Amino acid sequence: MLATTLTFAASGGDEEAETSLNRGRGPRWLNKLITESPVLRQHFVGVCITDVASGEKLYEFNADRYFTPASNMKLFSFYTGLHMLGDSLPSLRYVVRHDSLLFWGTGDPTLLHGDVPSRRAFDFLKNRPEKLFYLPVPCVDAFGPGWGWEDYNYYYSPERGPFPVYGHTVRFYGGPGKRPRVGPRFFNPMVTAALPGTTDPEHVRRAVTENQFTYFPATKNWVDETPFRTSPALLQQLLQDTLRRAVTVLPWRMPRLQDSVRILAGLPVDSLYRRMLQVSDNFLAEQLLLMCSSKLGFDSLDTGRVIRLMRRQSLADLPDAPHWVDGSGLSRFNLVTPRTMVALLLKLHQEVPEPRLLSVLAAGGGHGSLRRVYHDKNGTWFWGKTGTLSNNHNVCGYLRTRKGRLLAVSFMNNNHVVTTTEVRNEMERVLGQVRERL
């Protein structure tokens, strides 16, 4: 494992800076914790730690090497939303022509969403006096590049789309010996019990290419979500079912020059950022980039267009250009260096007031994906974002030391064969020492 660096602080004694290229750069004690760890020694590790106030580099180990970041990529989506969305989500676009209202999606995922629910588009469409016509604007593929195809059945991998409803998932509430309750009820006729004697590790299994759901016997109460297959025709049925009025689907056409295109404002942006970052919601992250795309024009919703714009403008000064392909980090095609993640953390801290920034992140011992780690009797000392795929676990965020310093930290682990729990516990042990000694 090699590491390179530019400048570092050295403070003598056991704080003496390590100089060997293959041993990292920074305090010897910290380098020893990482290089001699039986948990960390067999996989690829990268660490970057920088003082937020001064920008001083305190430690780097493989900080210029590229890693699979997993959900650490949601911080890039967050930064993009901050630059492009303003204070509220764009709920939908519409045009009024005589007795007709033509509307199309902006990618807003909150319409009747189970965890970030909004009724703004619902109430708007339900109460308009005009006839309703839905236009399916061109959009990226339902699944992103490099996603695992077998994830289609899991709650964390709903299909992307221009006008989501119900978060593109069906919720099931089940228990021993009974048929599960289904929401929305529209899908109830598509749900059947498994054949007697059939078992499955999942509560519900959907057919790969169609909305047919099979539930399996259980010994206790359970709640689960399963993504459904999307299409303009299904959206039409769902809207008509919930709005209790007719909705006609028309082929997509760009608005005419004389049309007055309006945007219906949706929820405050932090309601989405908070849920996306704290529980690592992939669907919200993907739809966030589509909403940003809607700000660039009417012709399509294109994740790649947003990424290219951000890389060329707001993120052109990162130390290593990220290989960035989706909004959620589900793709293994994403590649980022630890020092680039830290540079992004510094940009976020410079541009977002600290109380707001920390409030939308997961908090150690508090909420989100860090609720069981990075805390003690004195409270939270780490706020950030985890990133986990099979054999990869990373954390990126802000660490408050005993001395009151705020540090930007990226700690990345790729290709580990020990359990994620072992890696997570070892990272907490190492960063706990950073908290005590820096």
C-alpha distances in angstroms, 77 versus 72, 80, 139, 285?
10, 5, 18, 6
Are residues 345 and 215 part of one domain? no
Distance between CA atoms of residues 267 and 167, nearest Å: 15
Q: Which secondary-structure segment (H or E) carries 108?
A: none
Within a domain: 80: no
Are residues 241 and 163 part of one domain? yes
Final residue before a domain boundary, out of 248, 269, 290:
269
Within a domain: 1: no
Considering only CA atoms, give the Rg of the chain.
Answer: 24
Cβ-based neighbour number of residue 277 at 10 Å: 26
Burial of 30 (0-12, 13-18, 19+ CB in 10 A): buried
Within a domain: 219: yes
Final residue before a domain boundary, out of 269, 298, 315:
269
Are residues 95 and 59 part of one domain? no
Number of domains forming the structure of the chain: 2
DSSP state for residue 195 in the 8-state scheme: P
Are residues 422 and 344 part of one domain? yes
pLDDT for position 23: 53
Token pair of 319 as six digits: 């130390």
Within a domain: 79: no
CB-CB contact of 384 with 408 (8 Å): no
Are residues 95 and 62 part of one domain? no
Within a domain: 257: yes
DSSP state for residue 25 in the 8-state scheme: B
Are residues 26 and 134 part of one domain? no
Torsions phi, psi for 98 (to 5 deg): 60, -115
DSSP state for residue 139 in the 8-state scheme: B
Largest CA distance in the chain: 79
CB-CB contact of 108 with 88 (8 Å): no
Are residues 103 and 46 part of one domain? no
Are residues 217 and 99 part of one domain? yes
Q: Which secondary-structure segment (H or E) carries 81?
A: helix 74-84
Within a domain: 187: yes
From 156, 365, 166, select the one nearest 279 (Cα to Cα): 156
pLDDT for position 298: 82
Domain span at residue 401 reads 13-69+335-437
Final residue before a domain boundary, out of 254, 269, 284:
269
pLDDT for position 18: 46
Are residues 263 and 140 part of one domain? yes
Within a domain: 308: no
Within a domain: 6: no
318-324 long-range contacts, Cβ below 8 Å, gap at least 24?
A: 318/343, 318/344, 319/64, 319/343, 320/64, 320/66, 322/76, 323/66, 324/73, 324/76
Are residues 424 and 379 part of one domain? yes
Are residues 98 and 65 part of one domain? no
What are the average pLDDT values for consecutive 10-residue runs of the chain, which has 438 residues?
Answer: 41 44 74 95 97 97 97 98 96 96 97 93 97 97 95 96 98 94 97 91 94 94 96 97 97 88 96 97 98 93 97 97 97 98 98 97 92 88 96 97 97 97 96 96
| Residue keyed to tokens 């899991």 | 154
Are residues 430 and 382 part of one domain? yes
CATH of the domain at 363: 3.40.710.10
Distance between CA atoms of residues 318 and 342, nearest Å: 9
Distance between CA atoms of residues 292 and 84, nearest Å: 6
